[in-house]
Amino acid sequence: MAGDGIGPEIMEQGVAVLSAVAEKFGHEVSYKEALCGAHAIDEVGDPFPEETFQACEEADAVLFASVGDPKFDNNPSAKVRPEQGLLAMRKKLGLYANIRPVETFDCLVHKSPLKDELVRGADFVCIRELTGGMYFGKKQEPAVNADGVEDALDTNYYSRPEVERILRVGYQYARARRKHLTVVDKANVLASSRLWRKVAQEMMGEYPDVTTDFMYVDNAAMRMIQDPRFFDVIVTENTFGDILTDEGSCITGSMGLLPSASTGSSTPVFEPIHGSWPQGKGLNIANPLAQILSVAMLFEYFDLKNEGKLIREAVNASLDQNVRTPEIQVEGGEKYGTKEVGAWIVDYIKRA
């Protein structure tokens, strides 16, 4: 699903890398393209058409790029929006766990707005709950109420099973890493957060090997830029996870570097955490690395570790050799576009 904006350009590189790795390791992959986002609204009037849903259900994995279009952004009364396609996909495929790793690349640390010594070595994963909370709770669009005042409503609803299953994902990741789980909430104010904290406190006894700590979201937002190395695994609700992962991505120096996986009860989806960057569309300047690293996460999900490793190695080599898109290029460095970076990585894989 290439979607909108820069989506098709980075997807082209993602698929090229996927195919090169598949060929190298003797896997046969069949592809199906599907419509979503603004593109799908224009063509069939629905940002996540039934046909796309069927294609997702029949697939083993979905590689997704980005959706969104400026013509919807400044029109709060638009009836259908591209983002609804993404939300529908998450909900219909039961993708409740969004895994967003924040890793730094040593050679790019200077691109971070934070001080070198704070950022170097930062490496954490944010597990964002993806099918609950305010995104999906009862809503009322802006309307004039009985008192003649215009109002609107979003409900931050969570049930115990929803909280429990995402916390378990958090604990599994913590166990496989540095055994430190930070539960981020706003339990001093929000009832839904108090449910999170209650469930987490009950569960922590089952994971004695993992250190669990609790942090209010405002404090976590501060800590993330003050001392990003504090974190190993963060688990949090949908809205907090959305906000904190944009913050996390800037630690690394470019939003164009971060992949993610959304997993749950049906087909998993692999996608960059960034948006469709309409301003960059068609200019061959978008960074394809988040998409390419999403392909690495795809292979790793199926326990194809060497495949994932080769992609990561190729990405690191491209960065080391300054084969980089403009936003992370060194001063006076050679110019590489989306296509050239992708082609370099494909070539590296073929020659490996």
Binding residues for ligand IPM (CB under 6 A): 83, 86, 242, 273
In this complex, which beta carbon is closest to ligand IPM, that of residue 67 or of residue 349? 67
**Can you tell me the distance from the alpha carbon of 206 to that of 95, in angstroms, rounded to the nearest whole number?**
25
CB of 245 to Mn ion, least distance (A): 6
Sequence-distant (≥ 6) Cβ neighbours of residue 74 within 8 angstroms:
none
Residue 4 interacting entry, from ligand IPM, Mn ion, none, C-beta within 5 to 8 Å by type = none
| Catalytic annotation present for 32 | no
Is the separation of the CB atoms in 127 and 248 below 8 Å?
A: no
Q: State the Cα angle at 286 between 270 and 264, rounded to 5°.
A: 10
Token pair belonging to 20? 């090169």
Minimum gap (Å) between residue 243 Cβ and ligand IPM = 9
- Residue 136 falls in which region: left (phi positive, over 0), alpha (psi -120 to 50) or beta: alpha
Shortest reach from residue 86's CB to ligand IPM, in Å: 5
Residue 207 is among the residues annotated as catalytic for this protein: no
Give the nearest distance from C-beta 287 to Mn ion in angstroms.
Answer: 17
SS3 assignment, position 214: strand
| Least separation in angstroms between CB 38 and ligand IPM | 11
Residue 83 interacts, among ligand IPM, Mn ion, none and using kind-specific CB cut-offs from 5 to 8 Å, with ligand IPM
In this complex, which beta carbon is closest to Mn ion, that of residue 46 or of residue 242?
A: 242
Which chain residues interact with Mn ion by CB under 5 A?
242
At 261 the three-state DSSP class reads strand
Q: How is residue 298 written in tokens?
A: 């795809």
Q: Which of 186, 232, 336, 348 is catalytic?
A: 186
Name the amino acid, one letter, at 198. K
**How large is the C-alpha radius of gyration of the chain?**
20
Whose CA is closest to 159, among 102, 253, 237? 237
| Residue number, 212 or 245, with CB nearest to ligand IPM | 245
Under DSSP, is residue 233 helix (H, G, I), strand (E, B) or coil?
A: strand
Distance CA 89, CA 302 (A): 21
Give the nearer residue to Mn ion in terms of CB position, either 210 or 258.
Answer: 258
Active-site residue, from 106, 213, 218, 320 = 218
State yes or no: is 227 an active-site residue.
no
> Is 46 one of the catalytic residues?
no
The residue of the chain with the least Cβ separation from ligand IPM equals: 83
Q: Which CB atom, from 84 or from 192, has the smaller least distance to ligand IPM?
A: 84
Q: Which residue among the candidates 42, 123, 154, 246 is catalytic per the annotation? A: 246
In the complex with ligand IPM, the residue whose CB is nearer, 86 or 293, is: 86
Identify what 244 binds: ligand IPM, Mn ion, none; CB under 5 to 8 Å per kind: none
CA-to-CA dists, residue 20 to 17, 281, 292, 301, angstroms: 5, 25, 12, 18
Q: What's the CA angle centered on 174, arms 171 and 179, to 5 degrees?
A: 120
- What single-letter DSSP state applies at residue 66? B
DSSP one-letter string for 316-351: HHHHHTT---GGGPPTTPPP--HHHHHHHHHHHHHH
- From the list 4, 46, 96, 135, the catalytic residue is 135
User: Shortest Cβ distance from residue 38 to Mn ion (Å)?
Assistant: 17
Catalytic residue among 207, 242, 336, 348: 242
Find out whether 328 and 287 touch, Cβ atoms under 8 Å.
Answer: yes
Q: Is 336 a catalytic residue?
A: no
- Could you tell me the smallest distance in angstroms from the CB atom of residue 241 to ligand IPM? 8
By beta-carbon proximity to ligand IPM, the closer residue of 242 and 300 is 242
Tell me the residue number closest to Mn ion, measured at CB.
242
Helix, strand, or coil (residue 185):
strand
Catalytic residues: 135, 186, 218, 242, 246
